[in-house]
Amino acid sequence: MLDDAGLQALREAARLSPDNLPLRRHLAEQLLAKGYLAEAETEYRATLLLSPKDPDITAGLAEAFVRQSSHGAALSALEPFLSTPGYPPRLGILAARALLGEGDVAGAAHRYHDAVSRDSSLADPDLAARLAPQPATPYPSGAHPGTAPPHNASAPAGAEDREVEHSGVTFADVAGMEAVKEALRVKLLLPVQQPELFAAFGKRAGGGVLLYGPPGAGKTHLARAAAGELGASFVNVGLADILDMYIGSSERNLRATFEMARRNRPCVLFFDEVDALAARRSDMRQAHTRQLVNQFLAELDGVDENANEGVLVLAATNAPWYIDVAFRRPGRFDQLVFVPPPDAAARAAILRILCRNKPLAEMDFDAVARTTDGFVGADLKGVVDRAVETKLHQSISAGRPIPLTTNDLLAAAQAMRPTAVREWLSTARNYVLHANDSGAWDELIPWIKAKR
């Protein structure tokens, strides 16, 4: 792999020869290999315009998407191939990873097995294990608690295998959310950027932040941007990375994850869907699940006060009320930050960011924002991806880039059903009205009132 100077030279060369396909393809591959995922995505997109329908470039683009958890975009990129019989099996594996990311286990299993039946060298035991039917409880009916996993047979995606990203995304890529960004700046960034100031006031860096809000509102995007803003590595942990059916394995995975973050400091360690790992112990019927929560608390506290230095723990949940209050003590997730659904101005800003670097006609983002009430960031990304997809097809037929227009976005928005923000707010309302003794959900009150 190239070192950073080599990569910089390659970027420069590509800038000077934007039409040199092999050069740009090589740059995209290197960016992907080094984990500069957002930049790799941009480069692959540009390369694909030079050589539309190239399976290798499409595979690179899809991989960049999957590793950024943009599963829908990965599937859109792969779609022209997947509908053709005999498509390259490697693309099927990527489709399986994207489908799994979207929660479509059956679809993922179908793609995976089809791909491996045509090219057995693509077999991926970790992926296959995640496609096997999952038990409803942490133990399968045939396995006994305490059974050690058969050697190598079910080792989950070990922390070592997981990707450490070097995020190119910063707060400049996060539209709106000024209050949220400011809270993260004070909590996460300033103590690291200006340690003397904090020391003067006797404050230490530390403690994590729990981001909560409706799905798709941009929690993962924010966490990734915080890492980029800090120049820290980014470890994105999903449930499938930790939960394992064998007793003790989930705890081991959790420990290995924290250790990986400590080895890569400064690091932002991000837990998505954390409510499943940090649920109220009183809600749990089984002792082993409580052990996982205890292990999580122990890792957050660290063996000594320096254990987690340089490791900033962020977590996201759509259901913060299920989280054990022990997680909210000082030094743990001691700050709750609400990531709201975007208002019209924020939607226009998100659209502007999402359309950056794309060929555009004169755009009226405000008009699109006005017609997308109830859309969250993820929905708007879907709108832009869909409009771009249509434009890409038209550009390929025309043999030149045709710019995106306001009408393209309006048409794509009309064809989309947004995420259920309203339903989320009505669930939230119950907790705010009936279980807000500690005032933890005060930030939500204005939103709940506005939606009534």
Does 221 bind ligand ADP (CB under 6 A)? Our answer is yes
Residues 176-183: contacts with CB under 8 Å, at least 24 apart: 176/342, 176/343, 176/345, 176/346, 176/349, 176/350, 177/218, 177/222, 177/339, 177/340, 177/342, 177/346, 180/211, 180/222, 180/337, 180/338, 180/339, 180/340, 181/222, 183/209, 183/335, 183/337
The one segment of 34-42, 119-127, 158-166, 376-384 that binds ligand ADP by CB under 6 A = 376-384
Q: How many residues contact ligand ADP, by CB under 6 A?
A: 19
Three-state SS at 70: coil
CB of 135 to ligand ADP, least distance (A): 26
If the CB atoms of residues 56 and 102 are measured against ligand ADP, the closer one turns out to be: 102
> Which residue carries 């880039």 as its tokens?
401
DSSP 387-444: HHHHHHHHHHHHTSPPPB-HHHHHHHHHT-PPP-HHHHHHHHHHHHHHS-TT-TTGGG
If the CB atoms of residues 119 and 373 are measured against ligand ADP, the closer one turns out to be: 373
Residue whose CB is nearest to ligand ADP in the complex, by number:
377
Does 320 bind ligand ADP (CB under 6 A)? Our answer is no
The one segment of 20-28, 214-222, 255-263, 288-296 that binds ligand ADP by CB under 6 A = 214-222
Beta-carbon contacts of 211 under 8 Å, excluding residues fewer than 6 positions away, are 180, 219, 222, 223, 314, 315, 316, 317, 337, 339
The one segment of 226-234, 301-309, 374-382, 428-436 that binds ligand ADP by CB under 6 A = 374-382
Q: Of 39, 380, 419, nearest to 176 (Cα)?
A: 380
Q: Among residue numbers 234 through 293, which ones bind ligand ADP (CB under 6 A)?
A: none
If the CB atoms of residues 175 and 189 are measured against ligand ADP, the closer one turns out to be: 175
The one segment of 4-12, 41-49, 359-367, 375-383 that binds ligand ADP by CB under 6 A = 375-383
Longest Cα–Cα distance of the chain, Å, equals 66
Omega before 266 within 30 of 0, i.e. cis: yes
Does 216 bind ligand ADP (CB under 6 A)? Our answer is yes
Bridge partners of 313, per DSSP, are 269
Does 176 bind ligand ADP (CB under 6 A)? Our answer is yes
CB of 388 to ligand ADP, least distance (A): 13
Does 40 bind ligand ADP (CB under 6 A)? Our answer is no
- Helix 89-101 crosses helix 105-118 at what angle (to 10 degrees)? 160
**Sequence letter at residue 52:** P
Does 381 bind ligand ADP (CB under 6 A)? Our answer is yes
Instruction: Round the CA-based radius of gyration of the chain to a whole number and report it.
Output: 23
CB of 433 to ligand ADP, least distance (A): 24
| Residue among 60, 89, 218, 228 that touches ligand ADP (CB under 6 A) | 218
The one segment of 104-112, 285-293, 349-357, 423-431 that binds ligand ADP by CB under 6 A = 349-357
d(CA 29, CA 327): 41
Q: Among residue numbers 45 through 84, which ones bind ligand ADP (CB under 6 A)?
A: 70
CB of 10 to ligand ADP, least distance (A): 26
Q: Which residues bind ligand ADP (CB under 6 A)?
A: 70, 174-177, 215-221, 316, 350, 353-354, 377-378, 381
